[in-house]
Structure 1
């Protein structure tokens, strides 16, 4: 639904970049109304810049909001032309691949996940799914570029829940982490837009319909749930567990709402392949320990009990 709203917003204002700013701005205003009145949350939010300067956690964690900005920007630019189903399949495929890499490197999770045949197969099928959904656009280079944009966004955004989760632990508040996420994304998008305005290549105007302001608030639940769940599930499992709902929902939106997008046979096939990729890659793999090496889950459990 967020992709559908932001896609329509981009069409209405005629600028996907401006649409992403409005979407992020809506989410940011809502979060500030929640966080600022509470003294503990307000102090935790104000403390984050100092904690960034002191590098109390690795500095990239503080900029996870940039990944969300890339996704929202790609929604505003490409959903109107591609449809929600093609956009989501391409996005999710990128996130699956990113999840494999991030889990292997131990980004944002308690244990590194070893590369397994299942995970690698899932990542390869994710690429196949992307090729299937973009195949109707092979003869239209500009459309192909739009279809690749969410895939790149998925690659970049795979570690966003990990960054948000680490900031939440530092601030002792998921609400503060989400607010910081929106601040970073909003500032980055706004600075870039102001540069465009200064160069005469952009104009600011607001959308005509009230529901077009809902993109940011719709993203709040997703960001919060992902940041809460990532430490227990890992990035890959988290991405794959959300895949089915996103793909099925996006196909229904394109099918039931006039003008949202065209559901090609290859779109359905690509979504099915992405679901299969999810099912395969979600098969548990070994955890990687720094010392003494790679241990499976059962072995770790036994050692912890003995300890």
Structure 2
């Protein structure tokens, strides 16, 4: 290849990366949009459990249509019962959807009260801590990664970010208690990709893994809601506004976009850009949509920035590991974003 051809390719790549980074930031904004939708569903229904069932149900309907459209995915999905009984992978991998259920439940129960920015920051902070612990314990990775200065600093900044975003509500214990929900959900969500990736490898299909994730989450949440309805603890009705059914599809759209964008960006830049998109989108939603009733404090913005810096620092060691594009794409497409 001539030097002119090489330079033109490098020039094209240098132009493409910023555009892909920007596209990933925009795609990352789908997550706070999903949180906003599920939060409003929870507000209308008056129950986080009911909101989560609606979100998982809408996403499950879309995934079932996709799975049934191809004979290969139908066969791969039909093989799940046999693979579960064969115990070729640890049983807990099949329950990774419970983590997504916790995330969506926390959205319905707390996002409308906390605000999307506070919710997303505490969720991401929990995921940063969980990711560091999973790497240290070897959960979902081939090689255990010991704690080092960047990872410890990233964890400390995640905790600082959580404290900052809840600071304006420090005098409201009930609100602080709600903030614990997304933080705990983030801790669980850090483990979810390991389980979903194992299911994807076992079944040979990322689409089947995502569908199974939705089925598990829907069954868990639906069973709890059914018991509560039968015991008279809650009265359930479906939302009357069409956009309140977009929670699940928004998550699926985010999965699809990340799967496409990771091929041009790589894992490190994709993670940083998507996290930036989540935090920027969260602040913008709270600021530009006053109907949600959430006030954006200066300390909330600072907390979101601290969370972004913490996530970026925590990702640095991962850049030293060589991971194939196909593995990266698979890991990203079965991430907690697709809850």
Deviation string, structure 1 residues 10-34 (Cα, Å, up to 9, x no partner):
1122222111100000000110011
Cα 1:237–1:170 change in 2 (3 A) is farther
Q: Which residue does the alignment assign to 2:332? A: none
1:277 is aligned to: 310
Q: How far apart in 1 are the matches of 2:69 and 2:250?
A: 22
Distance 1:154 1:161 in 2: 12
Q: How many residues align?
A: 286
Report which stretch shifted further, 122-131 or 156-165. 156-165
Aligned-residue RMSD, C-alpha: 2.3
For residues 75-110 of structure 1, give each alpha carbon's deviation from its aligned partner in whole angstroms, at most 9, with x where no partner exists: 001011111000000000000000101112222233
Shift of 1:224: 5.4
| Residue matched to 1:161 | 193
2:154 alignment partner, one of 113, 122, 133:
122
Aligned counterpart in structure 2 of residue 63 of structure 1, from 77, 85, 95 = 95
1:94-146 deviation per Cα after TM superposition (whole angstroms, max 9, x unaligned): 00000101112222233332221100110011011001111122211111111
| 8 A contact 1:67–1:156 mirrored in 2 | yes
Alignment of 1:29-178 (within 5 A): 29-178=61-210
Cα distance in structure 2, aligned partners of 1:110 and 1:220: 27
Q: Deviations over 1:251-301 (max 9, x none)?
A: 011110123221112111111111121222222269xxxxxxxxx869xxx
Once the two structures are superposed, residues 235-257 of structure 1 have per-residue CA deviations (whole angstroms, 9 ceiling, x without a partner) of x9875553211000100111101
Whether the 8 Å CA contact 1:104–1:114 is kept in 2: the answer is yes
> 1: distance between equivalents of 2:145 and 2:255?
23
Runs of 4+ residues deviating >3 angstroms: 221-229, 236-241
Partner of 2:23: none
Contact 1:122–1:281, Cα closer than 8 Å, also in 2? yes
Unmatched runs of 5 consecutive residues or more in structure 1? 287-295, 299-307
Give distance in 1, aligned partners of 2:257 and 2:204: 16
